[in-house]
């Protein structure tokens, strides 16, 4: 690394991510962010102070050696950089794109603190994406080494980020691994939930291909709790341990008048139709999806942004995003909010739906909303939205997408006697990810509630270590 002083490093401007023009990308599903050039990556890496206490590592759920991989990029050694990342994370191309770095590793960055803005922190996520893409585009991805067969067999229920992480860590130890996926394609929320323009599916598929090359087996269209139950896998099918990573796939609704009208979607259904079933590819796919003209999206998280931005790309003339707090309280990533605004999505802040209006056919004709003000903080720490009496107004729309969050998938809970869950339906586990049932572990959104890819991976790594330790003692 060049011998720059901290002052000289701070003088290097944060590198802007190249991206598609907003007017062009509104009509395609191609990735919005285009990735750093080699020169940009070296400049961004040179901004890192290489702090001895490395606060960025503490902000990473899987504890990547962030100064180490950034130093390698600055020195032009991309191979060393990606090898450093992969000591801790097996999904760098995914995490570099979709993780909320601004609230995790970049939040405590010393450079950002010195410049008094997290936006000026070192672009850790962008550098992670850069080096992961470099590895893939140059055909340098290697299959991890697998130890000799142990005769032990582990089942992984769900192929989202937690399940894939556990599968890799357990397979490396020589255990047989079988992944069970309810859908016809593996990848979990990375496939059905996150749009192509944020996370190209070929990147997720590459990670799946690596697992199968390691010898992991994959069973799709296999619904645990229906096709087979947890106890069947343990008692009849010879599995020595199971990991449950079924995610948070049960959409919440607002329970307001009109939610059963034609033209009302949960964000889950809307995004699954578009992402997994390729409804946007009208020339080659036969998945039906309503051809909306005016869309209202209810919510302020990343899923709401994904739904709104997908609606734009599916041809909607107007997309209105309705959120009952202010932009400062929005849980969505700042980058996603910025991109949504660029793409012409209209934000209705401090407003919320009161009821959905019907035409004579029972189809959505509009939405009646209330205006809000912010009161005292609630349990989440955010100021509570308070209705303003008499502030009702109507908005003409033909589609409403409800994106106010998800609950844990209830099927395994309902079909597994003795499995302890909390009041939200999440599986209760100990510090090692072990559930109340012997040899059954869990992690990711089914434990945490709806969280992030990297948090799910962190849960998976911890559970995998405990499973490997348990199997070593059998």
Q: Which helix (H) or strand (E) holds 205?
A: helix 201-213
Q: What is the mean pLDDT of residues 447-468?
A: 90
For the cut 70, the answer to whether the pLDDT of residue 373 exceeds it is: yes
Q: What's residue 47's pLDDT?
A: 97
The confidence band for 1, taking pLDDT boundaries of 50, 70 and 90, is very low
Task: Name 341's Cβ contacts closer than 8 Å, sequence gap at least 6.
Answer: 347
For the cut 60, the answer to whether the pLDDT of residue 2 exceeds it is: no
The confidence band for 142, taking pLDDT boundaries of 50, 70 and 90, is confident
Asked if 372 and 386 count as a contact pair (C-beta separation under 8 A), the reply is: yes
Q: Which helix (H) or strand (E) holds 453?
A: helix 453-472
Q: Please report, for residues 85, 258, 277, 281, 367, the alpha-carbon distance to residue 289 in angstroms, rounded to integers and kept in the order given.
A: 40, 19, 10, 11, 20
Rounded CA-CA distance 279/343 in Å is 20
Rounded CA-CA distance 309/25 in Å is 10
Q: Please report, for residues 214, 297, 364, 459, the alpha-carbon distance to residue 164 in angstroms, rounded to integers and kept in the order given.
A: 12, 31, 40, 11
Q: In what order do the strands lie in the sheet with 318-323?
A: 264-266, 399-402, 294-298, 318-323, 346-349
CA triplet 327, 328, 333: central angle to 5 degrees? 80
Rounded CA-CA distance 156/441 in Å is 10
Residue 261 DSSP label: S
For the cut 90, the answer to whether the pLDDT of residue 408 exceeds it is: no
For the cut 60, the answer to whether the pLDDT of residue 388 exceeds it is: yes
Tokens of 159: 């192929």
Strand, helix or coil at 194? coil
Q: What is the mean pLDDT of residues 387-411?
A: 94
Tens digits of per-residue pLDDT, 81-129?
999 999 888 899 999 999 999 999 999 999 999 999 999 999 999 999 9
Tens digits of per-residue pLDDT, 154-185?
999 999 999 999 999 999 999 999 999 999 99
Asked if 404 and 297 count as a contact pair (C-beta separation under 8 A), the reply is: no
Rounded CA-CA distance 6/407 in Å is 46
Rounded CA-CA distance 61/80 in Å is 21
Q: Please report, rounded to a whole number, the percentage of residues in the chain having pLDDT higher than 70.
A: 100
Tens digits of per-residue pLDDT, 261-271?
999 999 999 99
For the cut 70, the answer to whether the pLDDT of residue 225 exceeds it is: yes
- Measured from the Cβ of residue 356, the count of other Cβ atoms closer than 10 Å reads 24
Q: Which helix (H) or strand (E) holds 113?
A: helix 110-114
Q: What is the mean pLDDT of residues 398-405?
A: 96
For the cut 80, the answer to whether the pLDDT of residue 380 exceeds it is: no
For the cut 90, the answer to whether the pLDDT of residue 427 exceeds it is: yes
Tens digits of per-residue pLDDT, 287-314?
888 889 999 999 999 999 999 999 999 9
Tokens of 324: 């009952």
Q: What's residue 76's pLDDT?
A: 96
For the cut 50, the answer to whether the pLDDT of residue 224 exceeds it is: yes
Q: Which helix (H) or strand (E) holds 334?
A: helix 334-342
Residue 119 DSSP label: G
Tens digits of per-residue pLDDT, 325-354?
999 989 999 999 999 999 999 999 999 999
The pair phi, psi for residue 250, each rounded to 5°, is -100, 105
Tokens of 465: 């270590």
Tokens of 82: 């990606």
pTM of the model: 0.92
Q: What's residue 284's pLDDT?
A: 85
More confident residue, 407 or 124: 124
User: Mean pLDDT in the chain?
Assistant: 94
Q: Please report, for residues 206, 231, 426, 443, the alpha-carbon distance to residue 411 in angstroms, rounded to integers and kept in the order given.
A: 29, 14, 11, 16
Q: What's residue 248's pLDDT?
A: 87
Q: What's residue 345's pLDDT?
A: 98
């Amino acid at each position: 690394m060049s011998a720059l002083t901290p002052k000289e490093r701070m003088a290097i401007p944060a590198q802007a991510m190249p991206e598609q023009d907003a007017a062009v990308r509104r009509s395609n599903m191609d990735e919005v962010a285009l990735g750093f050039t080699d020169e940009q990556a070296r400049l961004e890496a040179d901004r890192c102070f290489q702090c001895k206490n490395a606060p960025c590592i503490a902000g990473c759920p899987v504890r990547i050696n962030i100064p180490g991989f950034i130093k390698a990029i600055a020195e032009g050694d991309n191979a060393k950089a990606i090898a450093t990342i992969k000591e801790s994370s097996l999904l760098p191309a995914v995490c570099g794109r979709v993780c909320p770095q601004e609230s995790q590793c970049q939040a405590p960055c010393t450079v950002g603190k010195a410049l008094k803005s997290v936006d000026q922190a070192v672009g850790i996520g962008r550098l992670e994406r850069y080096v992961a893409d470099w590895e893939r585009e140059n055909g340098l991805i290697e299959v991890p080494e697998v130890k000799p067969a142990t005769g032990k067999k582990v089942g992984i229920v769900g192929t989202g980020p937690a399940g894939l992480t556990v599968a890799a860590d357990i397979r490396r130890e020589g255990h047989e691994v079988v992944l069970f996926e309810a859908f016809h394609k593996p990848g979990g929320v990375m496939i059905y939930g996150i749009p192509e323009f944020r996370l190209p599916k070929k990147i997720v598929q590459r990670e799946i291909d690596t697992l199968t090359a390691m010898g992991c087996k994959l069973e799709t269209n296999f619904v645990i709790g229906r096709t087979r139950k947890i106890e069947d896998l343990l008692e009849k099918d010879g599995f020595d341990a199971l990991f449950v990573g079924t995610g948070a796939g049960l959409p919440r609704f607002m329970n307001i008048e009109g939610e059963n009208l034609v033209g009302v979607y949960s964000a889950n259904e809307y995004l699954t139709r578009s992402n997994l079933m390729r409804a946007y590819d009208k020339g080659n796919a036969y998945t039906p999806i309503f051809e909306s003209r005016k869309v209202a999206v209810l919510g302020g998280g990343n899923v709401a942004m994904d739904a709104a931005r997908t609606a734009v790309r599916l041809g909607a003339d107007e997309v209105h995003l309705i959120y009952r707090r202010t932009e400062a309280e929005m849980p969505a990533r700042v980058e996603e909010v910025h991109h949504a605004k660029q793409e012409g999505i209209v934000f209705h802040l401090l407003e919320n739906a009161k009821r959905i209006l019907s035409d004579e056919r029972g189809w959505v004709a509009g939405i009646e909303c209330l205006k809000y003000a912010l009161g005292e903080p609630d349990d989440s720490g955010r100021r509570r939205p308070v209705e303003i009496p008499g502030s009702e107004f109507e908005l003409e729309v033909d589609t409403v997408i409800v994106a106010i969050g998800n609950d844990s998938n209830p099927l395994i809970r309902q079909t597994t006697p003795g499995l302890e869950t909390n009041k939200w339906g999440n599986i209760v586990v100990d510090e090692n990810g072990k559930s109340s049932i012997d040899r059954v572990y869990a992690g990711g959104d089914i434990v945490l509630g709806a969280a992030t890819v990297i948090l799910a991976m962190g849960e998976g790594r911890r559970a995998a270590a405990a499973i490997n330790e348990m199997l070593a003692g059998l």
